[in-house]
Structure 1
Amino acid sequence: MADKKRVGVLISGRGSNMEALAEYKRIADPAYSIVLVASNVPEARGLVVARRFGIETWAHSHKGMERAEFDRMMDEELRRHDVEVIALAGYMRLLSPEFIARWRGRILNIHPSLLPLYKGLDTHRRALVAGEQHAGCSVHVVTEDLDDGPVISQAKVKILPRDTPESLAERVLAEEHKLYPAALDKFCRELN
């Protein structure tokens, strides 16, 4: 595919979903190319992983900065790399409304629950406490409301009798690694 969408991936930690997005080209010809991995945590392990893939990285601590100020700085870096679509991959920071407005309809996130259930944190424990039969993950378009944008893809994971939040998280993460690249690929193909 000639005209791939230029993707910027935002991370805060180990970057396993970012790695899955980057690895996807081994099994498919995706409609996207990751041109930048950016982080609010300069020591994030995912930055090292991105560099191994030959992807440019940018990192700056958000500590001591206003949210809008940090997001403006990150926005400038994304635009400098001609990013067209943003993929949040374990980015553990709320984006400012101004940032979301500038990128409206072009930011995706992967969330470890079957949205609209269990927005926010601690999703696996909450699903277990509620006695759910399934957990899972959702890829959604980011809006100003937390984990509330349109869901574009989901994967279900059966909850087993002896599941702990940790064992469930491990199985859901494996599904995230399959779901997110395919969802981002489809999103980029359909984006005008």
Structure 2
Amino acid sequence: MPSTCNVVVLISGSGSNLQALIDDIQTGDNPARISAVISNRADAYGLERARAAGIPAFSLDHRQFADREAFDAALIELIDQNSPDLLVLAGFMRILTSGFVRHYQGRLLNIHPSLLPKYKGLHTHQRALEAGDGEHGCSVHFVTEELDGGPLVLQSVLLVNADDTPASLAERVHVQEHVIYPLAVRWFAQGRLHLGTQGVMLDDQPLPASGHQIRT
């Protein structure tokens, strides 16, 4: 791992997780460096966050391409111009093609607002409440071709309150996303985290299937 870890971040919206990454990197002892932020929406507020931090920001409108494969091919070309050691999905609302995922195998992270493997996809907070779950949270994982199904790195686990609504639960989970995503990126940038033949490795030790867990 080089002394500086080039990170490219993909977004589609406000970029609050992007801001958490920017803030963590600016602490000064983090070898990660965000070399570019890319959105499939030109009006994504996260692009303004990137520009305010002096980070090159690009938009690539998926609607201008004939199909998903054509868009992903153009996206790969744009990403690779920025020499990424790590690619971070931070609210990127596109399902990626298998070819895209394979191209970045082992250096592609995502965050999902549930305790995976529970509640892949959307409406995770509502589904957790409807199931009567006592715990909920968020997960950082390496991306594979299975949607929200890649090996887990890190989870933040919180207790569900009796008076929680989907909105209140989403707010509390969002706070935890801003804690664990920068931590996972920092681990990768420091060379401590990688995806190996034995699964996810942290400090040369395999993590359990649930990843490293933080309870709040």
TM over 0.5: yes
Deviation at 1:72, TM superposition (A): 1.0
TM-score scaled by structure 2?
0.85
What is the 5 A alignment of 1:149-160?
149-160=150-161
Deviation at 1:64, TM superposition (A): 4.7
Aligned residue number for residue 16 of structure 1: 16
Aligned residue number for residue 42 of structure 1: 42
CA RMSD, aligned part only? Answer: 1.5
For the residues of structure 2 that align with 1:94 and 1:81, how far apart are their CA atoms?
22
Deviation at 1:26, TM superposition (A): 3.8
Kindly tell me the number of residue pairs found equivalent between the two proteins: 192
Structure 1 residues 28 and 182, CA gap change in structure 2 (3 angstroms): farther
Larger helix fraction of residues: 1
Aligned residue number for residue 4 of structure 1: 4
Q: Say whether the 8 Å CA contact 2:12–2:40 is kept in structure 1.
A: yes
Q: Per-residue displacement from partner, 1:106-125 (whole Å, max 9, x unpaired)?
A: 10000000111111110000
3-state secondary structure, aligned to 1:82: coil
Aligned residue number for residue 86 of structure 1: 87
Deviation at 1:28, TM superposition (A): 5.6
Instruction: After the TM superposition, list the runs of 4 or more consecutive aligned residues in structure 1 that deviate by more than 3 angstroms.
Output: none
Q: Which runs of 5+ in 1 are unaligned?
A: none
Q: Per-residue displacement from partner, 1:140-189 (whole Å, max 9, x unpaired)?
A: 00000000000000001211111111110000000000110001111222
Q: Which runs of 5+ in 2 are unaligned?
A: 195-216
Aligned residue number for residue 74 of structure 1: 75
Aligned residue number for residue 56 of structure 2: 56
What percent identity do the matched residue pairs reach? 45
Aligned residue number for residue 114 of structure 1: 115
TM-score scaled by structure 1?
0.96
